[in-house]
Amino acid sequence: ALARGVVTASTGNHGRALADAARAAGGRAVVCLSRLVPANKVQAVRDLGAEVRIVGRSQDEAMAEVARAVAEEGLAEVPPFDAAAVVAGQGTLGLEILTDCPAPSAVLVPLSGGGLASGVAAAVKALSPATRVIGVSMARGAAMAASLAAGRPVEVEEEPTLADSLGGGIGLGNLVTFAMCRALLDDVVLVTEGEIAAAMRHIHAVTGDAVEGAAAVGHAAILSGRISPGRDTVCILSGANVAPETFTRVLEDPAR
């Protein structure tokens, strides 16, 4: 596969990881991104040696380019979320959480296509069944949340959001993550743009860390009162791939 090249669609972070892995293995990586992906994330993928293809204004359009590249160019797809191996890999984070905190009352997981959420939920529920696992997403264009509410995978319109890494569809033919999220998540909570910004500011004030909006959604759910934290509530901060100008704007604009 590496000789021909690997391909994926991404909102930025998965593509960055694939680019890094392909470079380390001496292979070619093609990463398909929509125009909604921030420029800093696009550049980060390029800096790791991947070929970047900007396609359309939605993750669904980027995924269509992946399908074309597989069919016409012979590239091997590495899905961003809807694959058992990807879910299993992300589930190791659940094992790490339980190593440090064997029986948390709840784990709050950023929810996008469901790879991270379903993997973490599977690991946590297997070893600590009483722990609640809650998926948290932005209110703007949350595809998995809308799909779970509808009882089937659905398409939603993608919108600009501070939690851009959580954007994109889950695929109408979703094979793995929809069913796992439906079976394993105890709840799904949506947070507003203002709540995400407030959480980013609070995390920075307390820890000094500059996390991206997608990483702050769990914290936003607690700060806003949408979730009442219990004993040993765990928030997964899933990334710090945020444009400096975006983070500065969030820090300087409390009304955002």
- What would the pLDDT profile of 132-182 be if each residue is shown by its tens digit? 999 999 999 999 999 999 999 999 999 999 999 999 999 999 999 999 999
pLDDT at 246: 95
> What domains appear along the chain, each with residue ranges and CATH number?
6-77 (3.40.50.1100), 84-252 (3.40.50.1100)
Give the SS3 label for residue 53: strand
Q: What is the mean pLDDT of residues 16-30?
A: 96
**DSSP element (H, E) containing 204:** helix 193-207
Q: Among 88, 121, 117, which Cα is nearest to 104's?
A: 121
Which two structure tokens, joined as six digits, stand for 37? Answer: 């992906």
Calpha distance 15→31 (Å, rounded): 6
Is the pLDDT assigned to residue 1 strictly greater than 70?
no
Top mean-pLDDT range of 58-62, 167-171, 217-221: 217-221
Angle, CA of 135, 80 and 116, to the nearest 5°: 25
Name residue 221's amino acid.
A
Residue 87 vs residue 231, higher pLDDT: 87
Q: What is the mean pLDDT of residues 74-89?
A: 96
Calpha distance 135→73 (Å, rounded): 36
Q: What is the mean pLDDT of residues 208-234?
A: 96
pTM of the entire predicted model = 0.92
